[in-house]
Amino acid sequence: AVYYGWWVVSNPEVQTALLTEQETKELVEHDFENYYSEYAAGSFAFKVWTNNAWIAAQCVAFGITGFIPVQVLWANAVQVGLTGGIMVANGAAGKFFGLITPHGLLELTAVFTAAAAGLRLFWSAVSPGPRPRLQAVAEEGRALFTVAGGLVVVLLVSGLVEALVTPSPLPTAVRIVIGILALAAYLGYAWLFGSRAVAAGQTGDMAADQVGDYRPVAG
């Protein structure tokens, strides 16, 4: 995202290739900001939640391919970078970062978590370790349901922040602090309960008596 933003800022011809002068003016002056307030907060939160959940679901469901999570992240990085570049190049950096930061901190963390979980499934097929390959993929695949369930809640929170906090009349600094606190709460929860789960040997997979037997592996 940073690269594409820098590319747009450094090359005025790229800006004109992406948008006309009138379109750029409309984006900078009101379209970008109005996006967060043109719908009722409840319906906008639901729209954002379902959209982000779909992005995360693609990363999780197609993680076994190894490239779809990367492609999803790349596509979103390009979109954010190009939009941010146009805003910054036209003197609206404060507006851009002031609007995208409150919800973006938690939202992007959730999407990256989904991509990492999907790629973990891919890696279990590439390098299963001492486990049979199918067993490794099955175990990691079942564990993904735990990740997916948690991300549904995290993305709901980020959607509420985007619908209620981002377009609010609160000072920019206050809105950003709320976003930081939401991210800190998520990271704190993940660290506290995640470390306890790891210490207890939990992986997110089903209990052994619910899975069935696997063929023993020599070793």
DSSP 97-130: HHHHHHHHHHHHHHHHHHHHHHHHHHHHHH--TT
For residues 140 and 206, the answer to whether their CB atoms sit within 8 Å is no
pLDDT tens-digit readout, 92-137: 999 999 999 999 999 999 999 999 999 999 999 998 888 888 888 8
- How does the average pLDDT of the chain come out, rounded? 88
**Residue 107, Cα to own-chain centre: how many angstroms?**
5
- The structure tokens listed for 106 are 């938690």
Strand segments (E) across the chain: none
Local confidence band at 218 (pLDDT 50, 70, 90 cut-offs): very low
Rounded to two decimals, the pTM is 0.85
CA-angle at 90, arms to 41 and 98, nearest 5°: 35
Average pLDDT over residues 57-82: 92
DSSP 8-state secondary structure symbol assigned to residue 37: T
* CA-to-CA separations, 195 to 183, 191, 201, in angstroms, rounded: 18, 6, 10
| Cα–Cα distance, 197 to 178 (Å, whole number) | 28
194-206 burial: b if 16+ Cβ within 10 Å, else e: eeeeeeeeeebbe
